[in-house]
Chain A
Amino acid sequence: GAGVSQSPSNKVTEKGKDVELRCDPISGHTALYWYRQSLGQGLEFLIYFQGNSAPDKSGLPSDRFSAERTGGSVSTLTIQRTQQEDSAVYLCASSLRTPPGPYEQFFGPGTRLTVL
Chain B
Amino acid sequence: EDKVVQSPLSLVVHEGDTVTLNCSYEVTNFRSLLWYKQEKKAPTFLFMLTSSGIEKKSGRLSSILDKKELSSILNITATQTGDSAIYLCAVVNTGTASKLTFGTGTRLQVTL
Binding site for B on A (CB under 8 A): 4, 31, 33, 35, 40-45, 48, 55-56, 59, 89, 91, 93, 95, 99-110, 112
Q: Given A100-B31, A101-B31, is A45 in contact with B96 using a C-beta cutoff of 8 Å?
A: no
Q: Which residue of A lies closest to B43 (CB)?
A: A107
Q: How large is the interface on B (under 10, 10 to 19, 20 to 34, 35 or more residues)?
A: 20 to 34
Q: Which residue of B lies closest to A98 (CB)?
A: B98
Min Cβ gap A96→B in Å is 12
From A33, A42, A48, A55, residue with most partner B Cβ within 10 Å:
A42
Asked whether B112 is an interface residue with its Cβ less than 8 Å from the other chain, the reply is no
Q: Give Cα A33 to B4, complex, Å.
A: 19
Min Cβ gap B104→A in Å is 4
Q: Give Cα A48 to B95, complex, Å.
A: 12
Q: How many A-B residue contacts, CB cutoff 8 Å?
A: 77
The answer to whether A99 touches B104 (Cβ under 8 A) is no
**Could you say which residues of chain B place their CB within 8 Å of the CB of A102?**
31-32, 48, 50, 92
Min Cβ gap A30→B in Å is 12
The answer to whether A103 touches B98 (Cβ under 8 A) is yes
Q: Which residue of B lies closest to A105 (CB)?
A: B100
The answer to whether A45 touches B98 (Cβ under 8 A) is no
Per-residue CB proximity of B93-104 to A under 8 Å, as 1/0? 011111111111
The answer to whether A33 touches B41 (Cβ under 8 A) is no
Min Cβ gap B30→A in Å is 10
**Could you say which residues of chain A place their CB within 8 Å of the CB of B36?**
107
**Could you say which residues of chain B place their CB within 8 Å of the CB of A107?**
36, 42-44
Min Cβ gap A81→B in Å is 26
